Each structure stands twice: as structure tokens, then as C-alpha cells.
């Protein structure tokens, strides 16, 4: 599996009840999320023999160890929970099992809970994050990929001290909250799990998604963060995060119906190597993402991080 092309240089947000109250958590703080209901099914596996999440699951599902979605469509009619240290790779476009054809993808009719040290990699797209089984985009091959997967979550994605969450080209009808966690302020590649498969440091990234609620990343300590070209019906918050890569924190080109608030990040929100434009914000914008905040784009021209629509 390949890392995001926005993130290629590494390898070769909170509002409470509206914009009136800013949620600023210290980096490295511990977070807890609501306890999901008891699972009725378990997907378990190892790096050498990943478990297969496929078919229809009538209740809640627990992922332990390492699981993939590459054996056709998987539908979870309840919640999907990643156990501490578990990983789920849902970036396969095809049914890759011998003798089978068709597409793979994941639909979760409840919420996804990504617990302490767990990693979630969801969705893929040709230009920015090629699918794991896209033959055109294999390492060393020229050009973008050709496959795509648009996974769907009816509820929320909630990360509590997770290792990393990477979501591309997906639909989340609720909110996305990543609170605390990360692999630490370093760019070391984990030995196991989804990021070992990526051959990448642990990082978090949200690109080209449709989010029905808000997007919040707070108290994260990791290598890199990106949030680009998302359609967010609520607000975006990026606060109290610390990154090892000086080019991290590219929170750009999002279309935001609510407000955006960014503060206390190191480094601050920036264009870095991204050629994306400013965030388009219907509500207010403040801090590092304020309408008056200017940062140089890759060509050195000062541009606003956010503009009002």
C-alpha cells in the first residue's frame, strides 16, 4: 500500500456547541470516548495472515490484530470498534481472493471507534492515495492509479489516543474526532500494522471526504497531518497538535459550512508543499486559520489560509 502523494516528501480540529467555546487540549493529553456496545462478531488476524472483513454483519464488530477489507463488500449494521493496537486496512478496490471477482468496500451503519494505539486506513483514490491493489500505481510504476473506493460511515469516526487515522474519498454522515494519540513526535515507521504495510511513519490525513458533521483533531503527536478538499457541513478544529515534520499541518482547500478554528499547533497551519488553495468558510475563522492569516505557498507567494464564502 502506498502513502498519500501529498505526504510523499516524508518518505522520498475543537468547537463545543458552536464556535463560541474553543476546545484546546494539551498535546499528549489522554482522551476517552464513549464505550461502544458489546460486539457480536470479531475479525482478527496478523500481519502475515490478515483477517477478512466481508459480508453482512447483523450487529457490532470488533477488530483485533490486523484485518483487511479485500474480499468483497463488507456491511456492518452496527458499530465497528478497533481494539487497542489493532489495525484495519479498507483501501482495496477489488475482491482479491483467488477465484473471485467484483469490488471491495466498507459500509458501517453505526460509528467507528479507533482505540488506543489502533490505526484505521479507509478509502482510496487515483491521484492522492492509490488503492492497495491498484496495479497501475504499484511502487515504481508511472502515473496515477485507476481504481477508487468510496467507503461509507453512517455515524461518526471517533479516535481516542489512536496511532493514526487516514481517510480518503469517503462519506461520513456524522463527525470525525481524533483526540490525542499518534506515534509520538517522530517519523519512525512502525514495525507492524497498517502503517508498516504503508511503509510509512504513523500519521493522520483526511482528504476528499464528505463529512456531515464536524472535523476535529486535537492533542495529536505524530509525524504529519493533512486535511484537504473535504466538504464539511459542520466546523473544523485543529488545536494543540505537535508534528515532527516541519511541512506538516496542511489544513487547506476545505469547503466548510460552519467555522474553522486552529491554534496551539507546532508547526502552525501552512501550505508547505501543497498546491491547494485556501479553506472556503461560510462561518467565522480564527487563529492559525483566520481570514487575515497569510502563509507562503510553495512558490513563495503569500496567500490566506482561509477565505469567507
Q: Which residue has the cell 479498507?
A: 90
pTM: 0.88
Cα–Cα distance for residue pair 102/95, rounded to 1 Å: 5
pLDDT, tens digit (0-9, with 9 covering 90-100), for 50-75: 999 999 999 999 999 999 999 999 99
Q: Where does the pLDDT of residue 98 fall: very low under 50, low under 70, confident under 90, or very high at 90 and above?
A: confident
Q: Where does the pLDDT of residue 20 fall: very low under 50, low under 70, confident under 90, or very high at 90 and above?
A: very low
Handedness of CA 259, 241, 252, 176 (dihedral sign): negative
In Å, how far are 101, 118, 276 from 208, measured between CA atoms? Answer: 27, 23, 12
Q: Which of these, 2, 46, 7, lies nearest to 199 by C-alpha position?
A: 2
pLDDT, tens digit (0-9, with 9 covering 90-100), for 238-295: 999 999 999 999 999 999 999 999 999 999 999 999 999 999 999 999 999 999 999 9
- pLDDT (0 to 100) of residue 142: 55
Q: Quick one: average pLDDT of 37-47?
A: 86
- pLDDT (0 to 100) of residue 17: 29
pLDDT, tens digit (0-9, with 9 covering 90-100), for 101-160: 999 999 999 999 999 999 999 999 998 999 999 987 555 555 678 899 999 999 999 999
Element (H, E) at 195: helix 194-198
Radius of gyration of the chain (CA): 18
Amino acid at each position: 500500500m502506498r502513502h498519500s502523494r501529498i505526504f510523499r516528501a516524508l518518505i522520498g480540529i475543537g468547537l463545543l456547541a458552536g464556535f463560541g467555546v474553543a476546545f484546546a487540549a494539551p498535546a499528549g493529553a489522554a482522551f476517552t470516548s464513549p464505550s461502544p456496545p458489546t460486539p457480536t462478531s470479531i475479525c482478527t488476524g496478523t500481519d502475515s495472515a490478515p483477517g477478512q472483513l466481508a459480508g453482512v454483519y447483523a450487529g457490532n464488530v470488533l477488530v483485533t490484530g490486523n484485518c483487511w477489507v479485500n474480499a468483497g463488500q463488507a456491511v456492518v449494521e452496527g458499530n465497528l470498534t478497533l481494539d487497542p493496537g489493532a489495525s484495519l486496512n479498507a483501501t482495496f478496490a477489488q475482491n482479491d481472493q483467488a477465484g473471485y471477482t467484483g469490488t471491495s468496500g466498507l459500509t458501517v451503519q453505526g460509528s467507528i471507534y479507533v482505540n488506543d494505539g489502533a490505526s484505521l486506513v479507509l478509502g482510496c483514490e487515483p491521484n492522492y492515495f492509490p488503492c492497495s491493489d491498484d496495479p497501475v500505481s504499484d511502487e515504481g510504476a508511472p502515473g496515477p492509479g485507476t481504481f477508487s473506493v468510496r467507503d461509507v460511515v453512517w455515524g461518526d469516526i471517533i479516535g481516542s489516543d489512536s496511532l493514526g487515522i487516514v481517510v480518503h474519498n469517503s462519506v461520513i454522515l456524522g463527525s470525525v474526532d481524533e483526540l490525542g494519540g499518534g506515534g509520538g513526535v517522530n517519523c519512525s515507521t512502525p514495525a507492524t500494522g497498517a502503517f508498516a504495510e504503508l511503509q510509512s511513519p504513523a500519521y493522520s490525513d483526511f482528504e476528499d471526504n464528505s463529512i456531515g458533521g464536524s472535523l476535529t483533531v486535537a492533542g495529536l503527536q505524530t509525524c504529519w497531518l493533512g486535511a484537504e478538499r473535504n466538504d464539511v457541513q459542520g466546523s473544523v478544529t485543529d488545536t494543540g497538535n505537535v508534528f515532527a515534520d516541519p511541512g506538516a499541518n496542511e489544513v487547506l482547500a476545505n469547503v466548510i459550512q460552519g467555522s474553522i478554528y486552529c491554534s496551539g499547533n507546532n508547526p502552525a497551519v501552512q501550505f508547505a508543499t501543497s498546491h491547494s488553495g485556501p479553506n472556503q468558510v461560510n462561518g467565522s475563522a480564527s487563529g492559525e486559520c483566520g481570514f487575515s492569516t497569510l502563509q507562503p505557498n510553495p512558490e513563495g507567494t503569500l496567500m490566506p489560509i482561509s477565505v469567507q464564502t
